[in-house]
Chain A
Amino acid sequence: MSKPIVATASLAGCFGCHMSILDIDERILPLIDLVEFNKSPIDDIKEFTKTCDIGIIEGGCCNSENVHVLKEFRKHCKILISLGECAIMGGLPALRNGIPIGECLKEAYLEGPTVKNNVHKILPNDSELPMLLDRVYPCHEIVKIDYFLPGCPPRADLIWDALVALITGKEMKLPYEVIKFD
């Protein structure tokens, strides 16, 4: 049997969940024996080259590019996992959800106390730049998500056990300590 293929992405997140994936320490060696990585920041493959078995999403959706990547993942992955609080509920980026988008941009680019060099008072509007969404959306409000692994970041043991359980088909026996929202 060929190895299961895993893809990962970081959307509106801080990359902490990917750090937590690496936090499995020396188990990274058996992980490489267990799975093959496709599109992922870990191996720097930018585009999907084949259909993947497991897609791991970190971070919520704050702009059009995030939505595009997430939909690509849903298209190319048989199982999609929301990893961490940002993917599950928006997390820290979602703090802007109560503020109108115009005010956010104004504060960031025109009126913020650290804005010094924007003499022409330009808001970023290049067509190459992804459009900001009206608010930050959790991934499962954009596409169907199959599994959720909470935590900020999710404990390395949780990621490891969930991945191994998913690949080997065995039941997860998780201690209480590893499922936490913080």
Chain B
Amino acid sequence: MSEKIAFTIDGVTCKGEKGQFLVDAARDNGIYIPTLCNIPGVNPKSCCRICTVYVNGLPMTACSLQVFDGMEIINDTPALIEQRKIILEALFVEGNHYCPFCEKSGNCMLQALAYRFGMLAPRFPYTFPVREVDASHPKIIKDQNRCILCKRCIKAIKDEKGRSIFAYHRRGNKLRVHIDPKLALALTDELAQKAMDVCPVGSILVREKGYRVPIGQRTYDKMPIGSDIEVKK
């Protein structure tokens, strides 16, 4: 039986269990801390920094931080919202994110976060990098233009022997997520769909599955991301 603890988020007293990750504990209390690279149930890697909160005055990532008793967390301040917006804007200019014709538009977490934090146009100049689309696999397409290198697919998509289908390749600004061609041949339909769903942007696509949900019925068409958590409050 885990130990019950109490902490505060923006002055609101919350209850949680010792060892719980802060994003999960906040979610149980009806408070939304934005995440992008984090997947529930998979070890956090805190690489996108969108979930940064102030804990007793220090900036920390909420996805990898375990709650402890008496923690004072600041999550919702103009400065933090601005920091999150900066991360989103940087991600938008770093790749080629064409929302108007993206298959994932409306279901895209990056786009949904931009809606939530009120991004209208990025403050940074667009880089328009030259990146390839890898359409050589039978079940999935990997569009490197949209990849934000969040590692979600690497961490979550494994075959029955536990081998990763996706992997990092090269370093620095040449870093890409590549697909193992042999493992991709044996990819099942379910796993291919899971890979598409686990991708927060439209970088992994299942062949012949685009635009199935009409505009107006997609995940983030009606309500901002995180509002399903906040209704529990």
Closest to B127 in A: A97
The answer on a CB contact under 8 Å between A182 and B100 is: yes
| A interface secondary structure, majority | mixed
Pick from A43-51, A66-74, A81-89, A101-109 the stretch touching chain B.
A81-89
Pick from B29-37, B63-71, B174-182, B217-225 the stretch touching chain A.
B217-225
Pick from B54-62, B114-122, B150-158 the stretch touching chain A.
B114-122
Q: Which residues of B contact A90 (CB under 8 A)?
A: 126, 128
Interface: A135 (CB within 8 A): yes
Interface: B102 (CB within 8 A): yes
**A182 in contact with B121 given A98-B130, A135-B128, A141-B126 (CB within 8 Å):** no
Interface: B105 (CB within 8 A): yes
Closest to B223 in A: A176
Number of A-B contacts (CB under 8 A): 67
Q: How many residues on the B side are at the interface (Cβ–Cβ under 8 A)?
A: 27
The answer on a CB contact under 8 Å between A138 and B102 is: no
CA distance A176 to B115 in the complex (A): 8
Q: Which residues of A contact B102 (CB under 8 A)?
A: 182
The distance from the CB of B61 to the nearest CB of chain A, in whole angstroms, is 27
**A89 in contact with B126 given A150-B120, A181-B99, A182-B102 (CB within 8 Å):** yes
Q: Which residues of B contact A85 (CB under 8 A)?
A: 98-100
The answer on a CB contact under 8 Å between B115 and A89 is: no
Contacting residue for A179 out of B106, B115, B126, CB 8 A: B115
Closest to B132 in A: A98
| B interface secondary structure, majority | loop
The answer on a CB contact under 8 Å between B115 and A180 is: yes
Interface: B215 (CB within 8 A): yes
Closest to A175 in B: B222
Closest to A152 in B: B100
- CB within 8 Å of A: which of B85-128? 92, 96-102, 105-106, 111, 114-115, 120-122, 125-126, 128
Contacting residue for B128 out of A98, A148, A179, CB 8 A: A98
**A181 in contact with B100 given A90-B126, A97-B128 (CB within 8 Å):** yes
The distance from the CB of A34 to the nearest CB of chain B, in whole angstroms, is 23
Q: Which residues of A contact B121 (CB under 8 A)?
A: 82, 88-89, 138, 140, 145, 148, 150
CA distance A88 to B100 in the complex (A): 12
Contacting residue for B126 out of A138, A149, A152, A176, CB 8 A: A138
CA distance A97 to B115 in the complex (A): 26
Please indicate which of the listed interface residues A82, A140, A176, A179 has the most CB atoms of chain B within 10 Å of its own CB.
A176
Closest to A147 in B: B120
- The 0/1 profile, CB within 8 Å of B marked 1, for residues 4-44 of chain A is 00000000000000000000000000000000000000000
CA distance A140 to B124 in the complex (A): 10
Other contacts beyond A85-B98, A92-B98, A176-B115: 15, CB < 8 A:
A85-B99, A89-B92, A89-B97, A90-B126, A92-B101, A94-B128, A98-B96, A98-B128, A98-B130, A98-B131, A152-B100, A179-B120, A182-B99, A182-B105, A182-B215
| Residues of B that sit less than 8 Å from A by CB | 92, 96-102, 105-106, 111, 114-115, 120-122, 125-126, 128-131, 215, 221-224
A selection of 11 A-B contacts at a CB cut-off of 8 Å is: A85-B98, A89-B92, A92-B100, A138-B126, A149-B120, A150-B121, A152-B99, A176-B115, A181-B99, A181-B105, A182-B102
